Amino acid sequence: MEENKKLERISNFFRYDIKVKNILYDVAPREEYNYKDGIIEYVDKLYEALDDLYYYIMDMTLFANPSEVGHVEKLFPVYKNLLGECKEDFGKLTQFYETCFSNLRPEIVQLAGTECFGYGGFGVSLSKAITVNELLHILHMNVVNNDRRFSSIPSIKEKINDEGYLISLRGNSNIVADAIYEAYPLEMSAGVTDILGLPNDKVLMMIRD
């Protein structure tokens, strides 16, 4: 039961990851909003997006350090206040979208690249994020680089590659995951490999160099 809950959470994480990216794309500022009726519609879309983004991001923080979740909770009221200050000014709404939703500072990308390595887990604090995109980037790096989370899920099948490293099929046995495991070449030059089968024929792989 506990294993199924872990798999469901991981599956939901990636499902919500896609939903957040779709929302960010859908509410990006466009010239078609830059007229009276369009502005009103755009403001409504941004408020609705804030509510949806909060729901999805908060669910994704199940994989974060609990002590840092409070930072995420505090960000969204700030976003809402800043949106209210924009009123129906398209230029200000465009700036709001960039500064609260879409921006991803190079230092965050660099920090995540250097701290989230070696499949060690959470390397960058969520408290460093100031936009939705930065929250998403840090959360994503945590999940895909967390070896402990993978190895905590029992394996279904195992084999050894030609270099002596373990290849494991974990989680749910599904058509896609089984096919990848069976076809995965033993002669491939790679370290320990985990193939994680998720609900609805989804698959997540972790390959160590």
Local structure of 157: helix, strand or coil: strand
Closest alpha carbon to 133 in 98, 90, 94: 98
pLDDT along the chain (209 residues), means of 10: 74 89 96 90 96 95 84 96 96 97 90 60 75 92 74 85 90 89 88 85 80
pTM summary value? 0.80
CA atoms within 13 A on the CB side of 29: 20
What's the confidence (pLDDT) of residue 122? 52
What's the confidence (pLDDT) of residue 153? 81
Local structure of 177: helix, strand or coil: helix
What's the confidence (pLDDT) of residue 123? 57
Cβ-in-10-Å burial (0-12, 13-18, 19+) of 12 comes to: middle
What's the confidence (pLDDT) of residue 1? 47
Residue 119 dihedral angles phi and psi, to the nearest 5°: 55, 40
Spatial distance between the Cα atoms of 69 and 67, rounded to a whole number of angstroms:
6
